[in-house]
Each structure stands twice: as structure tokens, then as C-alpha cells.
Structure 1
Amino acid sequence: MERLTASGRALFWIGLVVASASSVTLSVKFYFLFSTLISLALVSLMLARIARVPLQVKLSMSDRATCGGRLPVHLSLFNPARRAALDVALRLDTPSPQLRQSKIALSWLPGGTRLELAAELELLRRGHYAIGGVRQETHFPFGVWRDVLLHRQPRSLLVYPRFQPLADLDIPVGRLYQPGGIALSSKVGDSMEFLGTREFQPGDSIRDIHWKSWGRVGKPVVKEFQEEFFCRIALLLDTFVPPASGESFRGDFEASLSLAAAVADNLSHSEYIVDLFAAGPDLYTLQAGRNLAHLDNVLDVLACLEPCREPPFETVTPVLAEHLGNITTVILILLDWDQARERLVHLILDHGPAVKIVLVRETPASLDPAGAEDLLGEVTVLAPEDVERGVDRL
């Protein structure tokens, strides 16, 4: 049925009705009509295969895009045959209905012709999509049968969550500062900052001698350093969606990912080191580093995250505790507020980092977060609509 056009499917159902009628009657008209429909289908299939002209197709498209946008798709065509290709339609080979594509139709492509074409792919949902290549289709001659030739050019497409940039992000600072500075964030070199010089002392490295100062004062002088310190920010995502909720919490989950993308985007413009943690069946971690290049790594993870249907907090808490000694501040984006999540926040605070808590939820939480604000600090509550419109300050 996938190869039949709309007209072909209509003829199929008509043929089915005619076949049923001819089985209970001796009227020659029904047999004649049924035979005509079968002949039409067979002739259409054979002529479509005979008329097929394999084209040379080159696909060009980006491998990353943002949900809700339109992704440009470029196709380079060449007809290597002497005869023309008739009634040709081109579209990407993807089964997902979340990628709505504009189809390219050509009624006539002469032999030896080169053509550059452009189309658009409308991205309806975040996720990871596999594209098999380009489908070359023809409805020739009667428009009832779709002859298909697949040009295999596999592509992987990551659709990022849609987000509005944050104008301002207030980050509380914990009592932990981590040594390493820029060197740790870039994974190269030493992380020592030059402060000045002092007299040489037994045990100092000859490598640190400052030769110009020695020549000026007439005695050994060495360079003095101080280790740099920096703030490491953890972005902790709550992915637990109870099984009984079905798809009703899908909007909350998608909004939380959009907010996480906005926070990561804001942090990428600062000097913070950003780590991403996703609380699922296991604790998914990404040490993203800093700057805009690492933002793509965070968005890659957010594009592929799916809701967790089993409570993960008892499992991930011991693993998370091992990382907290290196964290200055934890930004938690939660989908609900209950005792398990409150215990998680207490664990983080006990290890030293400051916390910033954001609850993304359409309906009231299981427990009122206002009751814990005296101990844990302010809990910001946002509805999915607020995130979709854009949050200027957080």
C-alpha cells in the first residue's frame, strides 16, 4: 500500500468491492470491470519500471538543527542517460512523521542535464533521526503506482530543544572553589599564574629561575606562582516521569530540556566550567568544559534524552555524591517536588555546593516546595508556557 498513490489506493478499494460483488453474481460487467482494473495496475507497474531513469543525486544538509525551525536541504541532480526522466519526485528517506518535508517534483528532466534544487525540512520534535538517503519516485504513466529508487546517502540529524536565551542568570556560589583554572578547562598545560619573583631557596627548581632578575640583582632569583581557582557549575536534570502519567507530562519534560538548553547557553558565554548530569536509570554525566564549542556537546545530549519511567534517585545519589567534591554550584531543573528530591538537595548542600532549584511543571507538585525554602533556599516554579515564551531572568 505504501507504493500506491492516493488515486491508486482509491482504485484498490474499488477493485476490492468489484471483486466481492463479482464473487456473488454472474454479471459479465463486474468481471470486465475487475479485469480492467487489474490490467491498469499491471501496465502502470511495468511502464513505471521501464520509464525509470536512475539519476545521480548528491545530498547536502546540516547534521544539527533546532526544533521548530526549518532545515535547508540542497540536492544536486544529474541525468546521465540520453532519455529524459519523467514525472520525478524527490524526498528524504525518513519514516519519522516529526520531520515534515517539502517534496521536489519535476515533470521533465532531459538527458545530460544538471540541476541544483533546494527544499526545506520542518522540525516538529526534538530528537535523533536517521536519514537513509534520497528517494527518487515517479508516478508515470497513470499516477496510480509509485516507482521508487533509493539513493543511499545515510545521514544522522540531531534536533536540539527549542529555547529562548536567558538575559540574566543568578548563580549562587558555594564554599568550594576548584584549582586548575583555564588549564583544567582546556586540558592542557599547568594551571599556575605568575605572581612575581623572590630569592632562590634550596629545593627550588632551576627551571623557575628568572635570568633577567638574576643579572640585575646579582644573585639567584626564581619566579613565584599561584594556582588559579575557578567555579565549576553542575547542571542536574530530572528525567523521572511516572508511568501512570502517560504522555500528560511530556510537555513538562520537553520544557525542562528547553530551559536546560537556555541555561547551558548562558553559561557558555562565561568563565564557568559546566558539567551536565541527567538523573535517569543511571547517572548520565558530561564534563562539557567551557566556551561555545562545548555548548554543542551539551545540546547533543539534550537532543537525545528520553523520560525515565522508574524512580532513579536512590540509584544515582551515591554516584552523584562522588562528583560533588569538585562542584561549586548545582543548578537543579526538576519535574516535581517530593521527599526523594528534597533528600537529593540536602545531600548536595551537605557536600558544600550551593544550589539553585527550578521546578518546571504545569500542575501542582506532589509536595509544596515553599515549605522547604527556609532550609534549601528559593524554589523557582515555571510552567511550560513560561519556558516556551522565554524567561529573561532566572
Structure 2
Amino acid sequence: MASTRGKMRLGPTEAGRVLLLGTVFFGLAAQLVPAFGVVSALVVVMLTVLIVGFILRPRIAMTAHLPDHVVAGQDTQFRYTIRNVARVPAYDLSLRFADLPAAIEHVAGPDPIGRLAPGESTEVVATMRARRRGKHPVPLPICESSFPFNLLRFSSVRKDREALTVLPVFYRLRLHLSRLTAESRHGLSGSAGQAEVSPEYAGNRPFLPGDSPRRIDTRAWARLSVPATKQYHNDSDSHVGLVLDTRIGADGKRPGADEIPELEAAVSLSASIAFTIQRHCLIDWLLAGPELHEFATWPRTMRVDRVHEALATVEAAESYDLNRMTDALLSRFHRISQVIFVLLRSDKTYSDLLDLAVAARCHCTSYLVVASDLEGPRHDAVRTGPWTLIPVGTAEDILAGRVGPL
């Protein structure tokens, strides 16, 4: 949310440009043919517009109500509260979206405001569309008035910007996952596939939005003076780690292109997997390229949002070395039951990591984004040692949602 009062800016409308050109034309013509009366009338009109428009220029306080995040490719509504802080009414107000980032498109709205009395507020809605994932700075729109006669624009401008998180495209997949849990691997009791069975107290953590009020520890709250939530280990929860390959070679980058389709498809597939498994599994961490994002302290209902937010800012890398993270990942493999890999190509970088996960008794599933120029069968699973590599489809198929059962 952002609130602003801007500086005045003056500019002609289309009708104003015509009138100014007409004034210049008649002024030049008056040098040859007596037309002083016409020129004087045009000058008087422009002076009247300038004086009246300056007196009634908009003095507006604007507050933006942007969503926490939006999904790439979908239309969303931006809401703005406009309040007239002047002592005189404001007429013929409209919002103009200038300097928007290339990833944000203004689709429609808002409707013009005919009159806004002193101290009066109103809310307007604009429809916007985010073209690409990421975090994009969105400037406040310019509030301008063309009163009177729609010849000049008197506007209120401020350079404030607010960051908007655009999530990658995701959808529900027809996905089959093993119901093997971390506890059942080690011989502990628990019925897989059933939630909230035999919860075991694990400690407290600060209360977060989305937590159930029933799990507030009142004693800890009284002791710490801040709300605290009880945490439980659940025998039936399957703990999952996501691994995303972000390596794009020099040949994968297209000159002048803002996006790399293969990477966008891998990110979209990862987001779709997280969205699909959220009811059955707890996503503990995401390894996106060399960056490790952890979600174990977040409540179940918020983990998929955190995963999507992390995926929104994933960048391509030409290469990286995961050997330095082996020890950290190995300790995490022993605390989860499944690891899901989304790969752009299969080679030693991730095959070694897969072997480590299998050695830690994790159930591993690997999905491959198929190159568009690959010849031959694309959807046959390939058995490589103790794990299976499943080709999903081309980048175009994944981004369009044309993914079959996995």
C-alpha cells in the first residue's frame, strides 16, 4: 500500500494541441490578412483555460491497494483510493498509467471521475495483466484533470513505486506420488495418507498468519508477551524436498528474448508440483539452482505460497557446483521422505545428488523438460541406476498446460 500527494504537471490534450496550432496559424496569417480578432479570441480561450485549470488543478492524495501477489498471464485488479485534499472541487479526473515496467500491462479502467468534492474520497479499479514472473516495481498512476474544455491536462505526479510479486504459471497436475513417510521408513508407527494422526509435540514458534488459534500456547504467550504456536510432528505427513535445475547454456539464450522458455517451463512445472502435492505433503525446502530456500518453520497452509514466491525470482545460471552443498543436503535428506527433481538436462551434476538422496532412503522422482528440437520419443521414462527420469514435454507444452498423467 502506498499513499502520495504529488507535484503539478501541465500538458495539452489532443484538442489543446489543435487549438495551439490554430492560434499559431492565425497569428502567422494575421501578418498577411487582418485577422486580429480571431487570434485574440483563441488567445483568450487558452488564457481562460489556463487560469481556471490552474485554480481548480487537482490536489489529490492517492492510496494504492495492490494484491500481495499475482499469477503471470492472469488479469488482476489494482484498487486506488483517491481523496481530494483541496478546498475546491476537482473535475474530470482520470488516471494514466505511465512508466509501467514491460512485464505489467494496463488492460482496462478505471472510469473517469466527473466531480470530487473537497475532502471526498472514492475508489477506482484498474485491470492489469502481468506478463512475466518476478518482482516488478509498479509506479503510482498519474492523476490528471482536463477541466475546463478538455484542452490542457493538469496532473499530479509522484515517483513512488511499490514492488509487485508475479508468481509463475501453475496448475493442478495428474500426479502420482509415493505415500512413503519419513517416520515409516525408520520403523515408527503411523498410518500413511491420513492427516493429523498421533501428533507429537515438537516445541513452540512465533504465531504466524494462517496458524490455527487452537494451537496457541497460552502459557508461552503469557511468559513471552507474544503469541506462540505449538508445533507437532505428524507421523502421517510426507516431507518433501524440491530440486530445480536452472542451468541454461549459452546456446539456450535467444538474442533479444526476455524469457528462456525452457527455464520458464521448469519453474512452472515446479510451481505446479508444489500446488498439486500441498494437501498430502509438507514441502520442507526448495533447491533452485545453487540457492536453498527453507520452509520448515512455516505452517502447512503457507508453505506453497512461500515456494511460489521463491520460484518467482529464480534466475538462469550457466553452471554451478553443488558439491559444496553436499553435507547440508545430506542432513536434510535424512529428515524427508521424498525428493522431486525438475531437470533441464541429465548429467553428473544432478545424478550424484540423486544417488545421495537414494542412499538416504528417499523416494526420488525426476522430471525432465524435453528440448523442443529433440527427435524421437519424448515421453518414455528412462531408467538410470536406482532412479527413473520421466520426460514431461516441451517447454511449449508445459507452459500451455498440455501435460499428461505423471
Q: CA deviation at 1:269?
A: 0.9
Q: Identity over the aligned pairs, expressed in percent?
A: 20
Aligned-partner Cα distance in 2 for 1:185–1:306: 39
Aligned-partner Cα distance in 2 for 1:380–1:265: 20
Give TM-score scaled by structure 1 length. 0.67
1:309 to 2:307 alignment:
no
Aligned-partner Cα distance in 2 for 1:331–1:54: 55
Contact 1:59 1:134 in 2 (8 A): no
Pick closer, same or farther for the CA change 1:139–1:72 going to 2, 3 Å: same
1:327 to 2:327 alignment:
no
| Correspondence for 2:397 among 364, 381, 386 | 386
Pick closer, same or farther for the CA change 1:227–1:283 going to 2, 3 Å: closer
The one-letter code sitting in structure 2 at the alignment partner of 1:60 is H
- CA deviation string 1:241-280 (max 9, x = no partner): 224422477111111111111111122111x221232243
Contact 1:49 1:147 in 2 (8 A): yes
**DSSP 3-state at the match of 1:347:** helix
**DSSP 3-state at the match of 1:311:** coil
| Correspondence for 2:175 among 162, 168, 172 | 168
1:274 to 2:283 alignment:
yes
**DSSP 3-state at the match of 1:232:** strand
- CA deviation string 1:287-322 (max 9, x = no partner): 256633222111111122222233343444454334
Aligned-partner Cα distance in 1 for 2:158–2:201: 42
Pick closer, same or farther for the CA change 1:149–1:227 going to 2, 3 Å: closer
The two structures, once aligned, show a CA RMSD in angstroms of 4.6
- CA deviation string 1:206-241 (max 9, x = no partner): xxxxxxxxxxxxxxxxxxxx9946532111111122
Pick closer, same or farther for the CA change 1:180–1:296 going to 2, 3 Å: farther
Aligned-partner Cα distance in 2 for 1:241–1:337: 13
**Counterparts of residues 130-209 of structure 1 (less than 5 Å):** 130-138=137-145, 147-150=154-157, 155-171=162-178, 173=180, 177=185, 188=203
| Correspondence for 1:296 among 300, 305, 309 | 305
- CA deviation string 1:62-93 (max 9, x = no partner): 21221111112223333343534344321467
Contact 1:68 1:124 in 2 (8 A): yes
Contact 2:392 2:403 in 1 (8 A): no
**DSSP 3-state at the match of 1:326:** coil
Q: CA deviation at 1:115?
A: 3.1
Contact 1:85 1:110 in 2 (8 A): yes
1:77 to 2:77 alignment:
no
Aligned-partner Cα distance in 2 for 1:372–1:317: 25
Aligned-partner Cα distance in 2 for 1:256–1:4: 47
| Alignment-derived partner of residue 199 in structure 1 | none
Aligned-partner Cα distance in 1 for 2:309–2:392: 26
| Alignment-derived partner of residue 213 in structure 1 | none
Pick closer, same or farther for the CA change 1:279–1:58 going to 2, 3 Å: closer
- CA deviation string 1:165-192 (max 9, x = no partner): 1233333748873779869999547xxx
List alignment gaps of at least 5 residues for structure 2. 1-8, 22-30, 33-42, 191-195, 205-232
Pick closer, same or farther for the CA change 1:233–1:49 going to 2, 3 Å: same
Q: CA deviation at 1:336?
A: 1.6
List alignment gaps of at least 5 residues for structure 1. 15-27, 30-38, 190-225
Q: CA deviation at 1:373?
A: 1.3
**DSSP 3-state at the match of 2:355:** helix
Pick closer, same or farther for the CA change 1:71–1:149 going to 2, 3 Å: same
1:125 to 2:132 alignment:
yes
Give TM-score scaled by structure 2 length. 0.66
Aligned-partner Cα distance in 2 for 1:167–1:290: 25
1:100 to 2:112 alignment:
no
- CA deviation string 1:319-377 (max 9, x = no partner): 433422222211100112233333332232233222111011333579x9989614132
| Alignment-derived partner of residue 275 in structure 2 | 265
**DSSP 3-state at the match of 1:104:** coil
Pick closer, same or farther for the CA change 1:371–1:357 going to 2, 3 Å: closer
**Counterparts of residues 10-25 of structure 1 (less than 5 Å):** none
The one-letter code sitting in structure 1 at the alignment partner of 2:63 is K
- CA deviation string 1:99-118 (max 9, x = no partner): 11235353632433543322
Per residue, is there more helix in 1 or in 2? 1
Contact 2:58 2:154 in 1 (8 A): no
Aligned-partner Cα distance in 1 for 2:250–2:89: 56
- CA deviation string 1:147-166 (max 9, x = no partner): 54246876432221121212
Contact 1:268 1:290 in 2 (8 A): no
Contact 1:79 1:109 in 2 (8 A): no
Contact 2:135 2:166 in 1 (8 A): yes
Aligned-partner Cα distance in 2 for 1:320–1:365: 32
Bigger CA radius of gyration: 1
Aligned-partner Cα distance in 1 for 2:71–2:316: 20
